[in-house]
Chain A
Amino acid sequence: MAVSTIYSTQALNSTHFLTSSPSSSSKQVIFYRRQTNRRFNTIITCAAQQTVVIGLAADSGCGKSTFMRRLTSVFGGAAEPPKGGNPDSNTLISDMTTVICLDDYHSLDRTGRKEKGVTALDPRANDFDLMYEQVKALKSGIAVEKPIYNHVTGLLDAPELIQPPKILVIEGLHPMFDERVRDLLDFSIYLDISNEVKFAWKIQRDMAERGHSLESIKASIEARKPDFDAFIDPQKQYADAVIEVLPTQLIPDDNEGKVLRVRLIMKEGVKYFSPVYLFDEGSTISWIPCGRKLTCSYPGIKFNYQPDSYFDNEVSVVEMDGQFDRLDELIYVESHLSNLSTKFYGEVTQQMLKHADFPGSNNGTGLFQTIVGLKIRDLYEQLIANKANAPTEASKA
């Protein structure tokens, strides 16, 4: 991870300048001060720029994702599109994070895909070499000119300059598809929406459009399913955390898809990631918080926690079925969960309240997205602390 850069230091005394050594594995900063008789130099070794890379696999478009907004909000500040650039850019930038939409790495635009007969889900429509090069560059602290895929025109627009951020999130259909890209990820998440819920959500999304009907919505999901199952779904075995969204089990024969059962499947043994648990780590718990201390309205709330196996990986699963109806339910639940990586009591509730108007704020999707956001913050801080312990040395020439 060597980067060679030469800085001039007009801000300092003009007789000083800095250079960094290209041959060392971490950045070295060498001060030179020109004096009449001798050169005086001090070598200071510091840790290289540490960009943490998070991958999020989701079939819900880019940029508007409420997950992204919750995540960037945990770090503070709202994520916004780059100012003054292409108005159809998919990128979001906040103080600490930059979110890149992987659709920007389409190798074929809409016309090209039609000609070749491939959907956007097909790996043949995506340039994984470029994706790998650019994510690797950003991770090493090098800015890149990233292409823009315009979802309105279906064309590939002129590239935009992306500066290496502290936290890079790559969001889209294929963050974990290519093995090289997978190896660059410090943490990965897969959002797994079941078919029934997907259908219900797409109905809510599209029914207002005059072009759509129940039939067209259904046909679109069915037609994309083979490619989705072949190329996108298998990525979930690689994810460190899977958020699975299913229809509720609390209401018999519910087909509205409004009450949800959400499962947070967390891989064990991932560096810097300690799974959330309920009451007793590693045990199996079934918990209905509604009762004497807490009154809930129909259909209530039910939690489950248990160790499990997922694609040959050891995992822990926390599951929430039902809806929050009042603030006190949320804070009651938060106070009984452990390993949340909050910085103060009530932080999960506070984050949920901040975005009370986002979809999923009253159920497990919002809750687990918020918790994953806090886990990522925790992972980031641990990673940074670890790098900062790299040795520093000073010597005089």
Chain B
Amino acid sequence: MMSTTASHGRVMMLPSPSRALQNQQPLIGSDMFRLKQTEPRGSRLVVAATAKYKGTKMREEKLSEMIVEKVKEATEVCEADVRSEGCKVAWDEVEEVSQARADLRIKLKLLNQDPLESFCQENPETDECRIYED
């Protein structure tokens, strides 16, 4: 059972550690097949993590916009002189915001919760912590 991830290609879908593993007995190949077959296909629950708070949604949008702007800027600056300092700094900025955008996406996915969760527990009245509704 395979699924794709955003960054590094195929990811192995595996059943959770069996009783056998927990007893720390050596396992043989056929045991593994039995383990795998007891897990019905499609049983793994994948929760799509999306932004819960307005602040996170705003950050997502802002970063995506910045990528558009900065790619445009870098393309222009480098057209003039591809070896200039301005050119390499412009593309470095593109890299920085692209990574920040990806980090936010991954945080949402790996944490399976909004990164602002603990901040918003303490400060529920701020604008950032309004619940985002589509």
Q: Which residues of A contact B (CB under 8 A)?
A: 60-61, 63-64, 69, 80-81, 83-85, 87, 110, 113-114, 117-121, 151-152, 154, 201-202, 204-206, 208-212, 216, 219-220, 222-224, 226-227, 256-259, 293-294, 323-328, 331-332, 335, 344-346, 349-350, 353-354, 356-362, 365
Contacts and interface: CB of A to CB of B under 8 A. Distances in A.
A353 B32 contact: no
B11 A346 contact: no
Given A114-B93, A223-B78, A350-B21, A209 B98 contact: yes
B103 A61 contact: yes
B119 interface: yes
B32 A63 contact: no
A370 to B, nearest CB: 13
Contacts of A212: 67, 71, 98
A209 B5 contact: no
B38 interface: no
A359 B7 contact: yes
B95 A325 contact: no
Contacts, number: 178
Q: Determine chain A's interface SS by DSSP, over half rule.
A: loop
A206 B102 contact: yes
A154 B92 contact: no
Contact of A211 (B15, B26, B68, B89): B68
B48 to A, nearest CB: 13
30 contacts: A61-B99, A61-B100, A61-B102, A64-B106, A87-B55, A110-B96, A118-B85, A118-B89, A120-B96, A151-B100, A205-B99, A205-B102, A209-B67, A210-B64, A220-B95, A222-B91, A223-B92, A224-B88, A258-B9, A259-B9, A294-B29, A328-B32, A346-B24, A356-B11, A357-B5, A358-B110, A359-B8, A359-B11, A362-B11, A365-B8
Contacts of A202: 98
B131 interface: no
B32 A113 contact: no
Given A257-B9, A294-B29, A346-B24, A356 B14 contact: yes
A118 B96 CA distance: 13
B61 to A, nearest CB: 11
B99 A220 contact: no
B26 A335 contact: yes
B1 to A, nearest CB: 11
Contacts of A227: 88, 92
A99 to B, nearest CB: 14
B80 interface: no
Nearest to A150: B100
